[in-house]
A = this chain, B = another copy of it.
């Protein structure tokens, strides 16, 4: 069995079709051609690129991380060449707007290619991912002049981008940030920036001549806190009118030595060591955070896509190992492949059931974003935007944790060989640990979900989602006894979660500790249920196939497993949510 990444095209196509149908994207004419005629060939080429170019570099990047030199960041061996091919093949333009030179394909297709890049080589995949986020932000918020000057090079991949938000004292809480921007003395409307940023992914590298940094900074006399922050475009090199590039006053001064994603340079950057880094305002003054949110939501879905890729990759590696490694006696005799041991199958099924549920959720969220953009009816667009913004924190947090769980199971299946550095599963495991932390910790996601997506609108969007999940469970064929537990439990969890959410909406205003205390488990409760939703959809299709269809049979098996082994987590999350704030609020911080 091959050890390079092997994109599961049939599974991806299956999930893609379900996501397009369930989100409503499939019936939007503007998307039909992409989904039916373009998708297969795009996915096919992407799978070759991922398997042949990106995957072999993945362990190399882990062993030989990017490094910081006085001349800038030098990336891992082979990475710059791979980026040149990536760009030449047009992958940076895939989902970018057509009027900026992009192909304008749906986010849904970009989610599928993104899954492949991450599954093959997450550290590499993060580079075009940040650029896609920047393209999105500039498209929506930058004045025309900036768009014209920067978008085409970003879309073509000639330049890349970074998102420079965090500072040592300002991580989850950006209100504390200190980088300052002053109007340039020339009075031409540009700015000079001074400050330090940390944790800037792909903040410097040797892939391209230029990097477009999107930097949050505070202007003179700006209000304190979040309301005084503005977003600036700060190029590594400023393009002159003649197209020549002039060094700007911004550079990477060091890299973090990280547990994983080691080929991805995580830079500490300094702006304004000399006369200030030249920057241009993106969006309105003091509204930087709103512009960042556009990008951040993309990045959060991006974490879901990345995590999905890692999850699939862990499954591939563990499955291959479980077939190859012989150990122990089974009914079939001594020294059997370990996949014949029930507990190894349990772990693999758990990995598979979680991975495919994650794929469904990630794709559905991407497709829902497409609907929010492409649907003709405004009310459909609004509803889709609401649903996507509810699903985004769930995808970011639930999928990142489930991918980490899957990667850890992958290590377990490998036994001692999974604990040594030259096992790729060890890298996947370390790479997967960042997902729950970056782009807003999972606690921030959980609070966002409960406060902004559930409580603020008194459960409307949530209830509409629960209606759809309820429907999906009800539509499971009643005559299939094996699917009865999935059906019954999904319906039950749906009803109970709806009830608990109503209770939270009612009491959150009087119980200040409630949201903080239960948000984490509420999100994971909903994630577990949303995974069941995907399995209901999958199982319904599979049940309609002939009895002897092996693929359909395997889908039903995984659905049965999800109901038996994953869905019971809902019981646990529910009990914890229902315990409310008391078990935490009663404890003074100093006494823990």
Contacts and interface: CB of A to CB of B under 8 A. Distances in A.
Interface of A: 166, 169-173, 175-176, 198-199, 225, 256-260, 319, 323, 326-329, 331, 334-335, 337, 339-346, 348-349, 352, 404, 408, 411-412, 415-416, 418-422, 426, 429-430, 433-434, 436-438, 441-443, 446-447, 485, 512-513, 515-517, 519-520, 550, 553-554, 557, 560-561, 563-565, 568-569, 571-572, 575-576, 579, 581-587, 589, 591-592
Contacts of A319: 592
Contacts of A436: 412
A172 B437 contact: no
Contact of A334 (B175, B430, B517, B586): B175
Contact of A572 (B433, B571, B583): B571
Contact of A416 (B176, B327, B429, B437): B437
A289 B308 CA distance: 43
Contact of A256 (B259, B420, B569): B420
Contact of A561 (B260, B326, B583): B583
Contacts of A260: 419
26 contacts: A170-B327, A171-B415, A173-B327, A175-B329, A256-B420, A258-B420, A259-B421, A259-B430, A319-B592, A323-B589, A341-B443, A342-B517, A343-B443, A345-B584, A345-B592, A412-B441, A412-B442, A415-B437, A415-B441, A416-B438, A430-B430, A550-B591, A554-B587, A557-B586, A561-B584, A564-B583
A581 B342 contact: yes
A576 B586 contact: no
A429 B430 CA distance: 10
What 3 A-B pairs come out closest when comparing CB atoms? A342-B516, A568-B575, A564-B579
Given A341-B516, A564-B576, 16 more contacts: A171-B415, A173-B327, A175-B334, A256-B420, A257-B421, A258-B420, A340-B589, A342-B585, A344-B443, A412-B442, A419-B437, A429-B433, A554-B587, A557-B591, A561-B587, A564-B582
A568 B571 contact: yes
A256 B447 CA distance: 42
Contacts of A563: 583
A468 to B, nearest CB: 25
Contacts of A422: 257
Contact of A560 (B335, B349, B586, B591): B586
A229 to B, nearest CB: 14
Nearest to A262: B421
B592 A348 contact: yes
Contacts of A554: 587, 591-592
A550 to B, nearest CB: 7
Contacts of A434: 419
Contacts of A420: 256-259
A172 B430 CA distance: 25
A513 B442 CA distance: 38
Contacts of A334: 173, 175-176, 225
Nearest to A423: B259
A294 to B, nearest CB: 22
A520 B343 contact: yes
